[in-house]
Amino acid sequence: MSKNDIINRRELLATATAMGASISAAYASLGLTVPGIAEEKPMRGGTARIQQSIIGLKDPRTWDWPQIANFARGWLEYLVEYQSDGTLRGMLLEGWTSNEDATEFILTLRDNIFWNTGEKLDAAHIRWLFEYWCDNSVPNNSMASRLDSLVDPNTNTLIIDSVILLDSRNLLIRPRYPDITIISSLADYPAAVVHPKGTYSETEFSPIGTGPYKPDYFAEGERAVLVRNDEHEWWGYLTEGFSGAYLDKIEFIDTGTDPYNYIKAIELGQIDMLYQNTGIFIDMADSLGWAKYSTNSSATLVLRQKHDTIIEGLQPFSNTSIRQAFQLAIKNEVCLELGYDSIGDVAENHHVCPIHPEYAEIEPNVFDPKKARDLLYQSEAREIEFTLHTLDDEFNRNTGAAAVAQLKDAGFKIKQIIVPEKTYRQNWSKYDFSVTEWNHRALGIQIISLAYRSNQPWNETGYSNKDFDNLVHQALGTVDVTKRKLLMAKIEKIMLRDAVIIQPFWRHLYRHAHPNLVGAQIHPTLEIQLYKLGWMQ
């Protein structure tokens, strides 16, 4: 099967399951059967130690790093789960249906779900959950952005009668405009299902949830521990396709952002699984005999400027020609080679990936450092010294260095500041000019709506364009992939014309794990499905 065949298959699977088709029906529509998975039945018990950054807990709807969610997945679960093949399946939901134009959805809960307090999960809890998600008055609540079609723009709260209780297991969802991203948004990591009586903040984080584990220890930047909740009868034990939750204990160990520490921890037998692996460290882990897993994804790095930034009395990033100069000065292939060891694909500066269903192939902007220099020297910004902030890790830092070197070659005065992890993660959206890591999303329009629509919490550039917003609005309501591609072509062209971002490459993702650890495959979104982990006999 060719790469294009695989991409086309993902297109249909992602769209079909988002609109309510079962996974088997989605595959059948392509004349295929659901791929079989080799049965590896782990033993029950044991401990797995996962290398991962330990980032402080906070209100889930404001989570901005998947590592936070990976720890909390032990007890906080999701209505919908995104699969590596591009399909969506119900987790706490048994299923969902949609009308043809994505203006009505019926969500159906599984019948055997209980909170770990002993209370049964019912549709009233989920009705409250939508109110919680759609409270746009909460700072940095990106769920309100994801579910914008359910938010009243006048009250910044859930629209009355947009989520209707039908009975104890069923809800009717009626967005104010057609929205194909509702179901896929429920699988995104800030969409954790929390209890109405729980407290979820930086100072107090409730252990109430539906998952098989409970938090036992948490120290930011050091270590976090989950243990099996023996007092809770987890629904997955008796549910086909889930089962699992084999481990008695799961430890997350923060070794810092230097990958050499990962390799040393493997050699010393201190960890059993990496969050991810990059660059030359992939071969190092191979040589130690660990199992290697990989996946294609739309995970990426974006060099972005905050458009309202004032530097030396000027607003250079509000000037489209200055942003164009930055973009034209950087050869994306060089950033891929020097920043990510060429382990990925060159991107086109518009943040829509060829594996997205609605990706449209358009004429890319061409690397032209001479034109970049001319645009710079014709502007008031020619004497400004710019600063690029990057996370102090391997590939963020190296990609930033490759970009800065090219910008200097084109005549820019620019320096790089490497920021410690905790400081960077707390301030990622506030820097004037920085490198930001963006994770995979199922649909291209998901990421565009989340990151570039006007006045959204994760629109870190501050980009605002009414024509662009109108096209995004249309694409959100366009079920037909072919028609959505036409809209996406226009969106991509505006992204290039306005030089909204510099996006050098798409990342191929890698993970290493102990060869006897089952369920450690890397997921396109970097989520760790903890219930799948276990040890072979």
Average pLDDT of every residue of the chain: 94
pLDDT digits (tens, 9 = 90+) for 472-520: 999 999 999 999 999 999 999 999 999 999 999 999 999 999 999 999 9
Two tokens, residue 501? 């971002």
pLDDT digits (tens, 9 = 90+) for 245-278: 999 999 999 999 999 999 999 999 999 999 999 9
The angle formed by the CA atoms of residues 393, 451 and 508, to the nearest 5 degrees, is 45
Q: How far apart are CA 73 and CA 46, in angstroms?
A: 18
Are 302 and 505 a contacting pair, CB within 8 Å?
A: no
Assign domain 1-21+40-296+511-537 to its CATH architecture.
Answer: 3-Layer(aba) Sandwich (3.40)
User: For residue 505, how many other CB atoms are within 10 A of its CB?
Assistant: 23
**Is the fold of 1-21+40-296+511-537 the same as that of 300-507?**
no
Chain-centre distance for alpha carbon 151? 22
Q: What is the pLDDT of residue 537?
A: 78
With pLDDT > 90 as the criterion, what percentage of the chain qualifies?
Answer: 91
Q: What is the pLDDT of residue 41?
A: 86
Q: How far apart are CA 163 and CA 104, in angstroms?
A: 10
Does 386 score more than 80 pLDDT?
yes
Two tokens, residue 291? 């199992």
Q: What is the pLDDT of residue 34?
A: 59
Does 37 score more than 70 pLDDT?
no
What confidence tier does 29 reach under pLDDT thresholds 50, 70, 90?
A: low
Q: What is the pLDDT of residue 243?
A: 80
Are 320 and 518 a contacting pair, CB within 8 Å?
A: no
For the chain, give every domain's residue range. Answer: 1-21+40-296+511-537, 300-507
Q: What is the pLDDT of residue 231?
A: 97
Q: Helix, strand or coil for residue 442?
A: coil
Q: What is the pLDDT of residue 170?
A: 99
Which residue(s) pair with 506 in the sheet?
A: 300, 345
Q: What is the pLDDT of residue 20?
A: 64
Does 38 score more than 60 pLDDT?
no
Q: What is the pLDDT of residue 23?
A: 63
Q: What is the pLDDT of residue 17?
A: 75
Two tokens, residue 269? 């037998």
Output b/e per residue, 270-298; b: 16+ Cβ within 10 A: ebbbbbbbbbebbebbeeeebbbbebbbb
The residues, ordered by sequence, that sit 6+ positions from 30 with a Cβ below 8 Å of its Cβ are 9, 12, 13
Domain 300-507 has CATH 1.20.1740.10: no
pLDDT digits (tens, 9 = 90+) for 18-27: 766 666 666 5
Two tokens, residue 484? 């959505």
Tokens 């797995």 appear where?
Answer: 48
Q: Specify the length of the chain in residues.
A: 537
Mean pLDDT of 165-179: 98
Two tokens, residue 117? 């307090």
Does 216 score more than 70 pLDDT?
yes
